[in-house]
Amino acid sequence: MHLISTPQNTPLNNAPISSHAVKPQVSSIEEEDRALAAGMLAQNPALVSMIQGRLGKLIGRSSGYIESLPPVTRRRITGLKGVQKEHSKLEAEFQEEVLQLEKKYFAKFTPLYEKRFKIVNGVEEPTEDDVKAGTAEGDEIEDSKMDEDTASVAKGIPEFWLSAMKNSTSLAETVTDRDEAALKFLTDIRMEYLERPGFRLIFEFDENEFFTNKTITKTYYYQEENGYGGDFIYDHAEGDKIDWKAGKDLTVRIESKKQRNKNTKQTRIVKRTVPVESFFNFFTPPKPPGSEDGSNAEDDEELESRLELDYTLGEDIKEKLIPRAVDWYTGEALQFEEIDELDEGDFDEDEDDDEEPSDDDRDEDDEESEEEDESGRPKQPEAAECKQS
Amino acid sequence: MHLISTPQNTPLNNAPISSHAVKPQVSSIEEEDRALAAGMLAQNPALVSMIQGRLGKLIGRSSGYIESLPPVTRRRITGLKGVQKEHSKLEAEFQEEVLQLEKKYFAKFTPLYEKRFKIVNGVEEPTEDDVKAGTAEGDEIEDSKMDEDTASVAKGIPEFWLSAMKNSTSLAETVTDRDEAALKFLTDIRMEYLERPGFRLIFEFDENEFFTNKTITKTYYYQEENGYGGDFIYDHAEGDKIDWKAGKDLTVRIESKKQRNKNTKQTRIVKRTVPVESFFNFFTPPKPPGSEDGSNAEDDEELESRLELDYTLGEDIKEKLIPRAVDWYTGEALQFEEIDELDEGDFDEDEDDDEEPSDDDRDEDDEESEEEDESGRPKQPEAAECKQS
């Protein structure tokens, strides 16, 4: 129970609307990963003590108690496990049907999303009925004549998606000041279901000075087999390669440094690209451990939290941002968020955002390491890919 | 984001399988409750500072930015809100269909629950097929001949439900040592859906020395109107009155105390019943603020956490204990729980349980207050009802 005591009016959870995807479960741990987990635990004595306490009770329970029961009782328990397996099959069928229902409603939502697209991008004006329906009780219905000089007014709703993203608790933290210049060109964020379990997020952009992609997509794949309780389980995510225009890659920073050759005493300018924080790193998702170019034990904990964040961002875009974008744009959706999420950690980071500290922080790190690395080869900290522009 | 960094194999959330019920939302706050919430905030400066920071951004956003937009742009935003309302209607329909789907699968689960009931209570032995299906790969299939002296063996699976409850993270904390003597008589825990949105948990007991009820039920009512995103919202819960046998009420403790009359100098024994912690308080749920005999501002925060716990317990029984009782009995279900839940708070309380500290704690409180209360009238701390036995 990590819920802060809040007014009773806060939603209990913001879980996805229906069919669930969860992170991979214990049953799917490879031996290698168990070792990684053990390594993590070794660094966290408090966690170890908690888990041991719990496991101690558990082990006492299963290896002591159940094994001590008469065979006929144990046979009954085994029989119940058999019954439970039938139940699990039905639960998986249920989740499958929920997913089909989700798809059915997604088809019903789609015309509304298309209408939103047209209004946001100035292809169409909203109808009288839409405006009437959207007017709060007691408010005056806005004039439809638009006899003002509309030519002087920007078409559609400028920066609609950027503003919506900046009001979203989780997404806002990934958007840097530099990113905003590119995210202004967003014309749509939408999604589609895959043939296999999973979904694809589609970011559509107007022509811009940053990259040539018309759309950039991010695809979340679920495991083929349902997990405990029938839930879908995340397998991995993949993102499109962004075709950055020269010098415009927002996920890196270029550093220049004078270097003196110790023998010839000649100086030269060395340029290197250094990865920086950016929303666009969302399209280069972390790779789960066990995959080909997975991590090593040292950065496992960091990888873990990056995977966690990647799932959360994808889920927030699918379940919150796309379904209710105008409420995120106006900020009204925020009142339905768990206060939980507005924790001090978040708040600090928000404040920092304005000063763009992440780049600064990295600067320091990179300056230090640079001294030892005279090769001029771009360093690749963490698991982030370093994209040359 | 309060998720502790954990091995990647921990489920992201244990949310209810499908149709969601959330706690009442901001839109349903009465003015009175807003005042209560304000009172709570006054006692928590850190929370206030966080919320203010967040609201500061928000207010700047909506009262500054949107109102400054040209009328034609504002009209487009209003139009989008109208489109969003259509979307919300569809979302509510979707949730309704998910609930229907849940009911459809509940009907499919029911024969399996009935089979479980029979095996647990010794009405039937499991079939060969059930035992085979329940046997882990590589394990020997348990002998079905039962040529041992089964007469000497207890029927069914003794203490099945009590054991399952004690392995459940949230429920275990509510079960006192005294409760166990009564919970041993549980023959079934099941549920049913209501005609209106909501569900009923049914606890069935064998004849016992504690109460005369054959079943004790707890009913959770959802609000008639769906909330934001189409979610169901908790309205309130009601529990059956337990017909305790004389002196057997597990939710109270009887205190005897000598009292000397200051005038006559005569002593007499005064008996009073004092509410104590017990799982059976689950059937006397806290009343949400705003209801007739709701709370006052002073204990609002405590009421809040009691309501939160009450929803959690109900949801855990409905979504976890009933669907997968044998996994809770063996403890196998625990590995699919969020490590999050095994926090230090939980762990401490578990340890304490063995020493039955809750009663002791109350003893001290009561002794103190007793000095000032010579009336001998049972004190009614918090909102708990004091039941005389």
The domain that holds B162 is classified in CATH as: 3.30.1120.90
Distance from the B207 Cα atom to the nearest Cα atom in chain A, whole angstroms: 22
Chain A / chain B CB contacts < 8 angstroms = 425
Between CA A329 and CA A168 the distance in angstroms is: 9
Between CA B367 and CA B385 the distance in angstroms is: 19
Residues linked to residue A202 through DSSP beta bridges, in sequence order = A190, A217
Between CA A116 and CA B87 the distance in angstroms is: 11
Between CA A356 and CA A333 the distance in angstroms is: 26
| pLDDT reported for residue A105 | 97
Best mean pLDDT range from A27-36, A52-61, A282-291, A297-306: A282-291
Percent of chain B having pLDDT more than 90? 47
| pLDDT reported for residue A271 | 87
Average the pLDDT over each of A144-158, A227-241, B112-126, B174-188 and give the range with the smallest value.
Answer: A144-158
- Partner residue opposite A126 with nearest CB, options B57, B75, B115: B75
- Whether the per-residue pLDDT at B256 is higher than 90: the answer is no
Tokens 């009073």 locate to B272
- Partner residue opposite B25 with nearest CB, options A5, A289, A336: A336
B103 lies within 8 A of chain A by CB: no
Q: Do B311 and A80 touch (CB under 8 A)?
A: no
Distance from the B217 Cα atom to the nearest Cα atom in chain A, whole angstroms: 23
- Whether the per-residue pLDDT at B127 is higher than 80: the answer is yes
- Whether the per-residue pLDDT at A182 is higher than 60: the answer is yes
- Residues in chain A closer than 8 A to B110 (CB atoms): none
- Whether the per-residue pLDDT at A33 is higher than 70: the answer is no
Confidence of residue A68 (pLDDT cuts 50, 70, 90): confident
Of residues B291 and B199, the one with the higher pLDDT is B199
- Whether the per-residue pLDDT at A212 is higher than 80: the answer is yes
Please state, rounded to an integer, the average pLDDT across all residues of chain A: 75
Over residues A270-278, mean pLDDT: 92
A380 lies within 8 A of chain B by CB: no
Over residues A40-69, mean pLDDT: 54
Is residue B386 in some structural domain?
Answer: no
Is residue A142 in some structural domain?
Answer: no
| pLDDT reported for residue B3 | 26
Please give the tally of structural domains in chain A. Answer: 1
Is residue B141 in some structural domain?
Answer: no
Cβ atoms within 10 Å of B235's Cβ, excluding its own: 19
- Among A103, A130, A300, most B C-beta atoms within 10 A, so best to mutate, is A130
Give the chain A residue nearest B65 (alpha carbons).
A330
Is residue B13 in some structural domain?
Answer: no
Is residue A135 in some structural domain?
Answer: no
Confidence of residue B75 (pLDDT cuts 50, 70, 90): very high
Give the chain B residue nearest A30 (alpha carbons).
B9
∠ Cα B323 B326 B329 (to 5°): 120
Give percent helix, percent strand, percent coil of chain B, each to the nearest 5: 50, 15, 35
In the stretch 135-154 of chain A, residues with CB closer than 8 A to chain B read 135, 142-144, 146, 148, 150, 153-154
- Partner residue opposite A330 with nearest CB, options B66, B341, B343: B66
Between CA A12 and CA B145 the distance in angstroms is: 50
A305 lies within 8 A of chain B by CB: yes
**Could you report the per-residue pLDDT of A84-118, keeping only the tens digit for each?**
999 999 999 999 999 999 999 999 999 999 999 99
Average the pLDDT over each of A126-140, A375-389, B210-224, B298-312 and give the range with the smallest value.
Answer: A375-389
Is residue A387 in some structural domain?
Answer: no
A62 lies within 8 A of chain B by CB: yes
Over residues B264-288, mean pLDDT: 92
Is residue B43 in some structural domain?
Answer: yes
Range of the domain at A226: 21-126+155-372
State whether residue B22 is helix, strand or coil. Answer: strand
- Residues in chain A closer than 8 A to B309 (CB atoms): 1
| B329 membership: H or E segment, kind and range | helix B325-330
- Residues in chain A closer than 8 A to B9 (CB atoms): 23-26, 28-29, 33, 37
| pLDDT reported for residue B165 | 97
Residue B208: which of B153, B270, B280, B282 has the closest Cα?
B280
- Whether the per-residue pLDDT at A299 is higher than 90: the answer is no
- Residues in chain A closer than 8 A to B58 (CB atoms): 167, 331, 334
Residue A81: which of B315, B185, B139 has the closest Cα?
B139
B239 lies within 8 A of chain A by CB: no
Between CA B125 and CA B144 the distance in angstroms is: 10
Is residue B125 in some structural domain?
Answer: yes
Residue A7: which of B4, B48, B318, B338 has the closest Cα?
B48
